[in-house]
């Protein structure tokens, strides 16, 4: 690597891999600080056709058919790892050992032991200046980031309760083929897949980590699925055989919990909610008002503040705020950064890629573009999910959530 260039690769050419590739392609075009030249080198995937098509689509120089080729390459500095959770540890450890900076998709791994080993590897790599981070992309939404700022400012008073849901329908078709997403113990299904997003968002907007969880419930509604006849990309279906395999994890998950800083939360996630392809929403209820966010309308949020203390009447209600240049990420982060311009999940990957590249390049951190989350934060997210699974296994018992470990890198 030189000061003039950062050379990028993405391991995994599926749905989220494409989002990472697009993020790196666009990262240089946002904000005023100049990045080094970003050279898009390779997309790697075991699916040869998918790797070749994705590399061509997003302007990468080549494609590779194994993650080992990325590890061994001497013309790559920065790598996103966007593959099945159980593959993360081996790939991330090898990349870090080869001196490459790594951005790993969430969840960090499929088990706590591997996640802890990845943190140890990141700590060793940090001695030589190598950076490892995890992508918690929804924290990059301007509306979500502004709601956190509102809560942190004290304008709304103390957080009393957070309620949230993440409803998806990718698993609602019982004839959709079995894949790695449906394997692994309860807690590694909908809870780990989409619940990992909702849980870190609840802590993010509340400004406090969970102290404990309780009332955990995990349900598997579709108990078996047909084997695929070909490769599966993302949540897409495809031809299936007449042979079936058992679904090993949860279609639906819910729990309640308490924050260390006070207040409670109630969260629910699902992968079988027909009519909801990607519905993420939450409300934060505070002493002096409430805030509501629905990612289906991510260019706005709703806020309620009484005219006077205690003024709660039948006429009271939320008012809608259109997001614009005064809110996080917006000014300079969009080509058209006027109020009311559309924004969604894809832009989050651009902001994430930009923040990661800036950190690697040594550009000073700005409040408007905070660094990506650490692997320790990724482990904490997994420990929270594991606590929910433990609660469910113990008939809803209260389970303490380990305190976020201090950052080692």
Distance from C-alpha of 401 to C-alpha of 201, rounded to nearest angstrom: 16
- If one counts the domains in the chain, the total is 2
Q: Are residues 106 and 146 in the same domain?
A: no
CATH number of the structural domain spanning residue 267:
3.30.360.10
Peptide bond preceding 107 in cis form (omega within 30 of 0): yes
Distance from C-alpha of 372 to C-alpha of 108, rounded to nearest angstrom: 13
Location of structure tokens 């098509």: 53
Res 156 pLDDT > 90: yes
The torsion defined by the Cα of 252, 258, 259 and 262, in degrees rounded to 10, comes to: 150
Residue 32 counted as domain residue? yes
Average predicted confidence (pLDDT) for the chain: 94
For the segment 207-219, the average pLDDT, to the nearest whole number, is: 98
Structure tokens at 380: 């904490």
- Give the pLDDT score at 315: 63
The better pLDDT of the pair 408, 157 is held by 157
List the one residue out of 16, 127, 75 whose CA is nearest residue 352.
Answer: 16
> In Å, how far are 65, 99, 166, 257 from 382, measured between CA atoms?
29, 26, 17, 15
Q: Are residues 305 and 197 in the same domain?
A: yes
- Give the pLDDT score at 147: 98
Q: Are residues 126 and 179 in the same domain?
A: no
pLDDT in tens, 165-174: 999 999 999 9
Q: Are residues 130 and 146 in the same domain?
A: no
Residue 207 counted as domain residue? yes
The better pLDDT of the pair 404, 298 is held by 298
- Give the pLDDT score at 166: 98
Res 119 pLDDT > 80: yes
How does strand 101-105 pair with strand 132-135?
parallel
Question: Pick from 137, 158, 176: which residue ends a domain?
Answer: 137
pLDDT in tens, 242-293: 999 999 999 999 999 999 999 999 999 999 999 999 999 999 999 999 999 9
The torsion defined by the Cα of 217, 218, 221 and 227, in degrees rounded to 10, comes to: 180
For the segment 142-162, the average pLDDT, to the nearest whole number, is: 97
Contact 44, 82 (CB under 8 A): no
How does strand 264-270 pair with strand 252-259?
antiparallel
Q: Are residues 324 and 186 in the same domain?
A: yes
CATH number of the structural domain spanning residue 55:
3.40.50.720
Residue 184 counted as domain residue? yes
For the segment 305-327, the average pLDDT, to the nearest whole number, is: 79
Residue 193 counted as domain residue? yes
Q: Are residues 114 and 52 in the same domain?
A: yes
For the segment 72-100, the average pLDDT, to the nearest whole number, is: 97
List the one residue out of 192, 163, 174 whose CA is nearest residue 274.
Answer: 174
Q: Are residues 131 and 158 in the same domain?
A: no
Vertex 48 angle, CA 43 and 52, to 5°: 50
- Give the pLDDT score at 234: 62
- Give the pLDDT score at 2: 42
Q: Are residues 28 and 43 in the same domain?
A: yes
Check the CA dihedral 391-387-195-138 and report its sign.
Answer: positive
List the one residue out of 106, 17, 89 whose CA is nearest residue 384.
Answer: 106
List the one residue out of 98, 137, 140 whose CA is nearest residue 378.
Answer: 137
Contact 276, 168 (CB under 8 A): yes
Q: Are residues 155 and 175 in the same domain?
A: yes
For 232-251, b/e burial (b = at least 16 CB within 10 A) is bbebeeeebeeeeeebebbb
The better pLDDT of the pair 128, 407 is held by 128
DSSP SS3 for 390: helix
- Domain residues for the domain of 63 are 5-137
Q: Are residues 35 and 167 in the same domain?
A: no
Res 1 pLDDT > 50: no
Model pTM?
A: 0.94
List the one residue out of 403, 377, 389, 406 whose CA is nearest residue 213.
Answer: 389
Residue 386 counted as domain residue? no
- Give the pLDDT score at 4: 83
Q: Are residues 319 and 172 in the same domain?
A: yes
Location of structure tokens 């000073």: 364
Residue 352 counted as domain residue? no
List the one residue out of 226, 274, 212, 217 whose CA is nearest residue 250.
Answer: 217
Res 189 pLDDT > 80: yes
């Amino acid at each position: 690597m030189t000061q003039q260039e950062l050379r990028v690769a993405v391991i995994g050419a599926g749905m989220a891999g494409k989002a990472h590739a697009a993020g790196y392609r666009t990262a240089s075009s946002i904000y005023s600080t100049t990045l080094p030249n970003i050279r898009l080198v390779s997309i790697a995937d075991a699916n040869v056709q998918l790797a070749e098509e994705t590399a061509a689509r997003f302007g990468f120089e080549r494609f590779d058919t194994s993650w080992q080729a990325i590890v061994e390459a001497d013309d790559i500095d920065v790598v996103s790892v966007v593959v099945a959770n159980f593959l993360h540890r081996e790939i991330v450890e090898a990349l870090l050992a080869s001196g490459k900076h790594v951005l790993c998709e969430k969840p960090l791994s499929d088990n706590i032991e591997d996640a802890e080993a990845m943190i140890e590897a990141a700590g060793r790599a940090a001695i030589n200046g190598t950076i490892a981070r995890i992508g918690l992309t929804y924290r990059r939404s301007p509306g979500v980031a502004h709601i956190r700022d509102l809560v942190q400012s004290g304008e709304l008073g103390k957080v009393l309760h957070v309620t949230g849901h993440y409803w998806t329908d990718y698993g609602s078709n019982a004839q959709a083929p079995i894949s790695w997403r449906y394997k692994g113990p309860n807690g590694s299904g909908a809870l780990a897949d989409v619940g990992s997003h909702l849980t870190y968002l609840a802590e993010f907007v509340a400004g406090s980590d969970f102290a404990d969880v309780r009332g955990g419930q995990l349900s598997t509604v579709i108990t078996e699925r047909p084997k695929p006849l070909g490769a599966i990309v993302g949540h897409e279906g495809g031809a299936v055989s007449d042979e079936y395999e058992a679904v090993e994890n949860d279609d639906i998950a819910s729990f309640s919990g308490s924050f260390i800083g006070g207040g409670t939360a109630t969260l629910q996630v699902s992968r079988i909610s027909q009519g909801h392809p990607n519905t993420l929403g939450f409300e934060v209820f505070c002493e002096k008002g409430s805030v509501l966010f629905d990612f289906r309308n991510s260019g706005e949020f709703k806020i309620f503040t009484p005219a006077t203390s205690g003024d709660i009447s039948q006429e009271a209600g939320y008012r809608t705020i259109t997001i614009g240049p005064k809110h996080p990420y917006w000014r300079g982060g969009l080509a058209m950064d006027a109020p009311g311009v559309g924004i969604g999940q894809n832009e989050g990957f651009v902001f994430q890629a930009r923040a990661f590249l800036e950190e690697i390049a040594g550009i000073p951190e700005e409040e408007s573009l905070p660094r990506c989350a650490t692997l320790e934060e990724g482990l904490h997210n997994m420990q929270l999910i594991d606590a929910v699974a433990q609660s469910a296994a113990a008939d809803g018992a209260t389970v303490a959530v380990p305190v976020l470990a201090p950052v080692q890198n």
